[in-house]
Structure 1
Amino acid sequence: MIKAGIFGATGYTGCELVKILQKHPHVHVAFATSQSLAGQTLSDVYPQAPYLPLILGEAAPFEAVEVVFLCLPHAAAAETAVRALTAGVTVIDLSADFRLKDADTYANWYDKQHPAPHLLAEAVYGLTEFAREQLPGAKLVATPGCYPTSILLPLWPLLTANLPITSPIIADAKSGTSGAGRTPKAGTHFIQVHNNFAPYKIGRSHRHLPEIEQAMGWFHPDAPSLIFSPHLLPVERGILSTIYVNFSEQITLEEIRPYFTQLYANEPFVCLLPEGELTTLAHVTHSNKCVIGLTMSGSTLVITSAIDNLVKGAAGQAVQNMNVVFGIEETAGLI
């Protein structure tokens, strides 16, 4: 039995993680932390959540666990990761602190110097399907952001196939409000979101953009440029990304589909829809799936990709990564 600790258990992602791990056949949750609600239980905060006492982060007993999940704000996560790694504990980070490999890029996008730049090189970027060979035995895993997961999984087969793609690729993505986190913000109040649909951080403004571009560069050193346009949906959870890819040469859907079927044929959590079907949020909510649909519009490939931002976009993918790190069945706790 793997003993796990969860930092930041009262956020939406942290609570989702607790619910997954409580049902995991190989994991026991040894502790859960909350800086603002220590002394209460998780079920006091979320009535549907398991009964789990909440303690302060500084009181967390690292000696009692083999792995910790960090559902913390950026910078705070890195500081906690250093403490955990020093204690010999494996870290699965769900913040942004170890996703970017360059400390200067991190500083530019997160407005502060990285607290532990010496760890960036060793962190495994945990897009599980892409990183599966790097994950076994890893001590530090950076779980990707939700938007990047929904965009990178459908782009990976195309960019590694060396197809004649022209710039820019356009990713028009929509997220449910839980993606903004539990901390109240004016733009995510019910009265602002209900019966509304709004773009935000259009242009080169969203912090997930350098993460997406970094991974695209791993897929292909001359990857096309990207226009990323996020939107806020008036729903609780889910991300639907519509991605437009143009080609410099004539190409058909029959030529493109095999790149997806070959790469994802044996993947338990990536599903390619039959030709003619379009992806919806209903395909993925409350699951660890990424569902992809492919459509040609003239010379443009239109990809529809959906994930649950709290599961495949966060807690579920973190557990998937942990399963691979510890050498247990990848689907454990997730199906």
Structure 2
Amino acid sequence: MTTLNRRKALALMGASVAASGLAAPALAMNNKIKVGALRFTSHAGNFVAFERGYFADAGLDVEFEFFQAAQPMAVAIASGDVDYAVTAVSGGLISLADKGAIKVIGGALSEEEGIDGQKFLASDAAFQAGVKTPKDLDGKKFAVTQAGSSFHYMGSKMAQAEGIEMSFTPLQKVGAIIGAMKSGQVDGWSIVPHIAKPLAGSGAVHIIGNVSDYLPDYQVTTVFTSAKHAADERGMTESFLEGFSRGVDDYAAAMIDNTADQDAMVDLIHKYVYTDRPRDKAAPSIINGTMRLNKGAALNIASIQDQLNWFQSEGLVDADITIEKLVDTSYVDIIGA
């Protein structure tokens, strides 16, 4: 008896697929998957793909699981509780990749010149005490979710560039950081604009700089999956990336390129982001969160390498981890090489 793995089966079925007019990812029809997400505008590619049927067109039955930080999402991918996710590179993600548990397969949110991006913030208490620029955070407390998070990376790279020292305060969740900033328990933070701008508008914090000034072309978030899915479920993984990329295209057309209906896109995103606010109150924050999502989930490999180098230099991950351990470059275009 001959046993066929998925790849061989796809090869044998290629002729019939071509005859039927279906793309190869349609072979994944009716695959039920869980997608990890945060309730951020920057995760809109997934929300659009779900709401407009692009995942369904690609043969995927998607259920979202929502998280409040990056590292728990990486653990969920490694354990098999979630199939695909978009999140920032963290020390936890890199360590799980080193153990052969996960792979980065694409890029999502990125800093791009000409598009408003992430901000450095000062609490009102710190601002009133003289913290007017990122350099003024010397000797101050800088909030992060966890040690080895993207917040830690951004703060540390800024501190290195400015020649200052800060103490990093882990508070686990974005909500806890916002509370600590408002109460003056921490002095500084960096966050996406749809959170930064409303907080600054309320007077609770002050915008004192741009992350892009220190990290141009920063690949803020990545698309990732389990190493098993990347290796053994290529059809399903390509289907996910196909649906996600179509969602990203619609998002960019409406929110960045102004070639599609922005109001309709805001309505869609509001189903997932700022759901506790009326639409008219949520819309400005959703619009403020508009940043570039990479077309076709292209990945800036130079930025990922810089992040890996930083985590290693800080002793947060093993020094011998290679980019090949972290990234499967076979799925999407690689830029910045």
Q: Which has the higher contact order (CA 8 A, sep 6+)?
A: 2
TM bucket (normalised to shorter chain) is under 0.3
TM-score by length of 1: 0.27
Higher strand share: 1
Higher helix share: 2
